[in-house]
Amino acid sequence: MFFQPIVAAIAALTLASPAVSTQTFLNTGTTSGWSSQNIENKGSIQQVTNVVYRNSSTALKFTQVYDSSWTGRFHSEKAETKVWKLGDQGFYGFAFRLQEDWQATPAQSYNIAQFIADFSDTNCDDWMPSSMVWVIGDQLATRVKQGSICNQGLKEWKGLKTVTPGEWHTIVIQANWQSDDSGFYKMWYDGEKVVNATGLPTMIDDDRAFDFHVGIYANAWHDQHGMKGTQGTREIWVDNVAFGTTFADADPTRVQG
């Protein structure tokens, strides 16, 4: 009958149609539009117009200053709450720039983005980050967290690419957040895929929602009880932060500021 080829053609077109694109978050370098922020001790966050990504009109400048008398942590971060939970899948992107005179210290790392949630009710941890993106020396690194809150495991990828100070770089992460081997974790740096891990746990077995933090967290200053090198003021710029259901939704190069 004549309608069978038509039905078959419609079905083929439906299967070939692209995935629905939904951008779930966008910030083009402004201090407004976030759920919260975390600034500790001498840290600061500024909205600036003199250092921006591409044709953006604004960017965020994050600063942290080493203080040997400070016993707390060293966060200067903007945060968006409840970005994903166990079983979700999505894309997460941003552009970042290290200060031009950034001093590479191979013995200490500086975190630029993390997904984190409050586990203080478990008696096994407090605020626990899962996936993180950081710079150690002049190299890019990332990770996922596995296992349980009381028995945590890590899968890390280090030495991925060289990060050039004074230049803008882009990150896009695609993740399927699973506590079993059905998960995957992929990351693009300046448009090049540098992590392509499939068939692995990408999250611990807990279904609470995770927040996204971006900026600078000089975690080594706290964890190692001191600063290596001679650069006690660290600055990072961030622009075009976006999340969504497709790569294009989170791609910093396509976001208009």
- Per-residue pLDDT of 212-231, as tens digits, reads 999 999 999 999 999 999 99
Phi, psi angles (nearest 5°) of residue 109: -110, 155
Q: Can you tell me the distance from the alpha carbon of 4 to that of 2, in angstroms, rounded to the nearest whole number?
A: 6
Task: Give yes or no for residue 4 having a pLDDT over 70.
Answer: no
170: domain CATH number is: 2.60.120.200
Give the pLDDT mean for 236-240.
98
Give residue 124's pLDDT.
97
Task: Give yes or no for residue 1 having a pLDDT over 80.
Answer: no
| Residue 222 within any structural domain of the chain | yes
Q: Can you tell me the distance from the alpha carbon of 234 to that of 216, in angstroms, rounded to the nearest whole number?
A: 8
Give residue 19's pLDDT.
64
Query: Which residues lie closer than 8 Å to 246 by C-beta, 6 or more apart?
Result: 18, 19, 21, 22, 91
Phi, psi angles (nearest 5°) of residue 69: -85, -10
Give residue 179's pLDDT.
98
Q: Can you tell me the distance from the alpha carbon of 21 to that of 144, in angstroms, rounded to the nearest whole number?
A: 25
Give residue 47's pLDDT.
98
Q: Which amino acid is at 191?
A: G
Give residue 256's pLDDT.
64
CA angle 246, 252, 257 (to 5 degrees): 120
User: Mean pLDDT across the chain, nearest whole number?
Assistant: 93
CA within 13 Å, CB half, 29:
27
| Residue 133 within any structural domain of the chain | yes
Q: Can you tell me the distance from the alpha carbon of 73 to that of 125, in angstroms, rounded to the nearest whole number?
A: 16
Task: Count the Cβ atoms, other than its own, within 10 Å of residue 9.
Answer: 10
Q: Is the Cα dihedral 16, 22, 23, 24 positive or negative?
A: negative
- The structure's pTM equals 0.92
Domain assignment of residue 160, given as a range: 23-250
What pLDDT, in 10s, does the model give residues 162-209?
999 999 999 999 999 999 999 999 999 999 999 999 999 999 999 999
What pLDDT, in 10s, does the model give residues 111-163?
999 999 999 999 999 999 999 999 999 999 999 999 999 999 999 999 999 99
Query: Which residues lie closer than 8 Å to 138 by C-beta, 6 or more apart?
Result: 104, 162, 163, 164, 165
Q: Which amino acid is at 231?
A: Q
Give residue 145's pLDDT.
98
CB 29 within 8 A of CB 239: yes
Total of domains in the chain: 1
CB 218 within 8 A of CB 66: yes
| Residue 9 within any structural domain of the chain | no
Q: Specify whether the backbone of 46 is left (phi greater than 0), alpha (psi in -120 to 50) or beta.
A: beta
| Residue 236 within any structural domain of the chain | yes
| Residue 220 within any structural domain of the chain | yes
| Residue 8 within any structural domain of the chain | no
| Residue 11 within any structural domain of the chain | no
Give the pLDDT mean for 80-95.
98
Q: Can you tell me the distance from the alpha carbon of 94 to that of 189, in angstroms, rounded to the nearest whole number?
A: 10
Give residue 2's pLDDT.
43
Task: Give yes or no for residue 17 having a pLDDT over 90.
Answer: no
| Residue 229 within any structural domain of the chain | yes
Give residue 20's pLDDT.
82
Give residue 217's pLDDT.
98
